[in-house]
Structures are given as structure tokens and as C-alpha cells.
Chain A
């Protein structure tokens, strides 16, 4: 007989009701009837740790584990349609995504480790909760008073401000989808609606998503003109693996002709504020110019001035601002002067 040992549980997962709907429609139906007490779980790689450390306390979990994602496809009007339930591994390895929007595959490939990417979904990555060094501490920190986001009445990093949460939104795929001008298909009991991803994030650390309590992301559409733009994504991390970004920069440019005239630009910066930020003013500065190294340096400086960095995870505001400038400049330079493929083999 197996002896009763309970050695495995270090952190307690609180009890909850568990439901496994057979379709997305049933899932939003259950979400609606729960009256805001339930939460959708897709991969659970963000949700379960947050439930373990007590940041989120749902009464019921609506698990999408029975549903399998639709394959990515091109719609009648040329948009690339991605199922929100596609895992990040699916996105990173899909030949169609690698061909049409390689930056998205690249961003997905740099989330967590392979164990995370095999479970985590694209929709879940866009809906992940904001993070803060204090909020997400698992062990000792739970024994101090709860902060605003945990339902308490204080903030450790910003003690002077009242009821403001400056936890940072750290999704890697969100800035890329912003640079690609993606549309989110949001499903609720009353049907589907399209939302521009620019309008999806509130900028409020307490409630970072503009998503109703009975809504979920069903699919992501990438318009055809974005698929023709040149794209670049860079994620700055201290070690280069299994990390949240210090700063991530996603850029999409339409570069025309031999004099490299910029026809259209979208620049998004992630992991430095309560939502991913878009550098609208700097984008206008670059459009219409013939691109060269001097323009890249100037625009990078303008992007760093425009997007406001919050100090997070031990990185100071000044350091993050510099990171934004350096990585924007490097990205733009790499896009303006793409590396020539090696055409001959060296012989000696």
C-alpha cells in the first residue's frame, strides 16, 4: 500500500471549481453565468503561478484543455488568422507564420523555456498579468501586507501614491502584434467583435486589459499590408534565456525603392510600462525620409524620449531609457542594411 506522503506541495493552490467546456462559445457562456467569479485558463503558465502566490483568487476555472486550436490560415481578404489557442511552440514553428510574419515566430520562440512554450498560448500571452518584483514574490513576501493589486492597501515601490499600481506588462508577443497592426477577435455571449490591439491595453496596472468579465480573445488577424512590411523584434534580457524582457522593441517599416524611402512605420516598445507603448510621434518623424544611419540614430533618440519607462525589477529609469535607444537604433540599422547572404564559400 502506498504510504500517504505529501512532500510535493510547497505552495498551496487554493480550491476552485473546474469546468471543461467543449467549445469557445460554451466557455464564454460559462464565464457569463459565473458573474465574474470565473477565469479562463488556456495554458495556465501565467495563471497557475499567480494563483499559487495569491495574486489571483478565482472561484472557478474554465479550462480550455479540451479544445484544440485551428490551424493558422489566410482569410479571403488576405489577413493571416491565428487561433488564440495556438501554443507559442506552434507559432514559433509554423512554416506559414515564419514566412509571413517572422518577427511573431521569433518573439514566440523567446518566451520562457520550451516547457512554457509547449503549454502557453498566444491568447494567454496577450492576456498575461502585469508583473512587479514585490507582487510576484512567491515565498517570504506573502507574509507582509498585501499591496493594491493583491487586494490590500499599500504599494511598496511607490509608497506615496494612492491606489495606483505600476506593475509592468511583459508580454513579448504584444509589441510585435502592435507593430503588425493586428486586430483581435473578441468573443462574448453576444458574438464576435474586432478590436484594434492598440486599444486593448488600458495602462492601468490594476486592470491592464480592456476585456469584459465575460469576454475572451478568440483569434488574432494580421492584415495583408503588414505581411509585406519589413519587421524586426529584439528582446533585451540579462542572461539570454528563460527570462522576462528588460525591454523589448518591435518595429515594422515599409521601405520603398533603392533610396530606402520609408512609406509607413510602426514602433512598439514592451516590458517598460503598465502596457506596451507605441511611439506614435517618432513614427511620424521617420515616414517620408530616406533611411540611413543618421536617421536611425535620431529616431531611436526620439523613441526613447517618447516612451516613458518605469523602473522595474531593479533596472533604473535611465538605464531602461538607454536600452530603448540602443536597441531601437540597432534594430533600425539592421532593417536598413540587411545582411547580404553569403554567396561563396571561403577557401584557403
Chain B
């Protein structure tokens, strides 16, 4: 049984016609064609499919597309403007937080949501925020370094803006 839904992905409205058993990540990848969101375990364990639903990180492989009707979704494609990288993405490059890259979109989105809520997180707060994202390459240290580095540069920019 298919139904018409509207997903607002990265600020752009997409009208889709999907079956009720289509997950959000399938809609994003197969129907909309944004392939930045990855599917790792497809069971809600690894966090590779993380997207922001109304600003909060969720797992798009265990969320039904029909349940997101009319809601705002941010994928990795919406984090930067497509030309310049976001602050956190630059920090990942600078600190070597990327190896194979499969977990990176999810890591960036979880990290982005954390920095929005808490601009100067401590190490254990970063680790807690990223606990739902598995990485089998980096051993997490460089990823955590990258988020901390981005938080320093973000708050530095904010401090300058305030002056």
C-alpha cells in the first residue's frame, strides 16, 4: 500500500510515493538519490545511516519513511553548501578523522548535533555523543580529537563575533 509523503531534505521539499515498509534511508538513497547516507548493519546498531530529524540525530535504517511525513531531515549533503566544508568537516580533515570514510557521514551528523547543543563539550561528552556510531578504522581517538578541535575553533569564532 503506497502513499504520498513529503520529506523536507536539506531545505528542499521532495514529494515521494512510497510503500509503508520503506525505511527513511531507502527513501533518501533510492527515491531521492542522495547517496551520502550509508547503510551499514541495517539493524540500528552501527550508526552509519544517522541523519538529523528535526535537528536530532536518528537512525534512518530503522525509521519508516512514512513516519517522517512533513518533517525536516538533514543528511550529510546538507551539512556544507557543497563548495566549502563545515567547521567540523574541516576538523576531520585536519585531524585525520577519516580513513575508509564509511562511518564519517554519521559521525559528522552526530558531532554536528552535539556541537549545536553544547559548544564546548568535554572528552567524555564527545565520546558519549558518538557512542552510537561505530568506526572500525580509526580507533575513535582522531574522531574525538576532530570534534574537540572543531568545538575550539567554533567557540573561538563565536568569541570573535561577540567582541
- A positions within 8 Å CB-CB of B: 2, 4-11, 13-18, 44-45, 48-49, 52-53, 61, 63, 65, 89, 112-116, 118-119, 138, 241-242
Contact = CB atoms under 8 A, between A and B. Distances in A.
Given A61-B20, A242-B131, A115 B29 contact: no
A92 to B, nearest CB: 11
Which of A9, A114, A115, A118 has its CB near the most chain B CB atoms (within 10 A)? A115
Contacts of A49: 43-44, 62
Given A8-B26, A115-B59, A18 B110 contact: no
Interface stretch (B63-71, B89-97, B153-161): B63-71
Interface string B1-43: 1010000000000000001111101100111010000010111
Contact of A114 (B19, B63, B131, B134): B131
Interface of B: 1, 3, 19-23, 25-26, 29-31, 33, 39, 41-45, 47, 50, 53, 56-59, 62-64, 66-67, 110, 113, 127-129, 131-134
Given A18-B66, A49-B43, A115 B58 contact: yes
Contacts of A2: 31, 33
Given A52-B43, A113-B131, A138-B43, A8 B25 contact: yes
A112 B43 contact: no
A13 B44 CA distance: 13
Contacts of B25: 8
Where chain B touches its partner, the secondary structure class is: mixed
Given A18-B3, A48-B64, A49-B44, 12 more contacts: A9-B26, A9-B30, A14-B21, A17-B1, A18-B1, A48-B62, A53-B43, A114-B113, A115-B50, A115-B110, A118-B58, A241-B131
Contacts of A65: 67
Contacts of B64: 18, 44, 48, 61, 63
A45 B62 contact: yes
A89 to B, nearest CB: 7
